[in-house]
Amino acid sequence: MRRKKNARYYQKGFTLIEILIVVVIIGFLTATISPELFNRVSQAKQTTTRNQLDILKLALDNYWLDNGHYPTTEQGLQALVEEPTIPPLPINWRGPYLEKKIVPVDSWGNQYQYLNPGVQNTHRYDLWSWGADYKEGGSGENSDITNW
């Protein structure tokens, strides 16, 4: 005797309920993981900017050792990659003082700010990034990253 085969048994594909359950699970995972992922990206940008700031500070100190002074505000950080032509001219420029021969930008694509003599560091220079919002102050990703 032959049995009648159950037609439902041989249907292929997913039911609407199964698809909805998968969509809900994916939505739940996305909602719980995304904020943490974005927080990690923000932290990585801040850490990268701090590290670049440290590299710039080392380059500025090397410039000072060679020339007896830091670049002026007018000469700016460009003095680390090109010999300044604006007085006071360096007496023993041995640059470029940055390996890639370009002045880096912060993690948000903005120029680092340089002031000599500094307002915060009156005997040296002030060096900072405005953070993600490119404005003074702020918190989190928008907080300023400074050498003081």
Q: Where are the domains of the chain?
A: 49-146
User: CA triplet 74, 65, 100: central angle to 5 degrees?
Assistant: 65
Question: Under CATH, which architecture does the 49-146 domain have?
Answer: 2-Layer Sandwich (3.30)
For 89-138, write each residue's pLDDT tens digit.
999 999 999 999 999 999 999 999 999 999 999 999 999 999 999 889 88
DSSP code, position 140: G
Q: What pLDDT, on a 0 to 100 scale, did the predictor assign at position 97?
A: 97
pLDDT of 148 over the 70 cut: yes
- Cis omega (within 30 of 0) on the bond before 90? no
For 21-71, write each residue's pLDDT tens digit.
999 999 888 888 877 777 788 899 999 999 999 999 999 999 999 999 999
Q: What pLDDT, on a 0 to 100 scale, did the predictor assign at position 41?
A: 83
pLDDT of 9 over the 70 cut: no
Q: What is the rounded CA–CA span in Å between residue 102 and residue 75?
A: 14
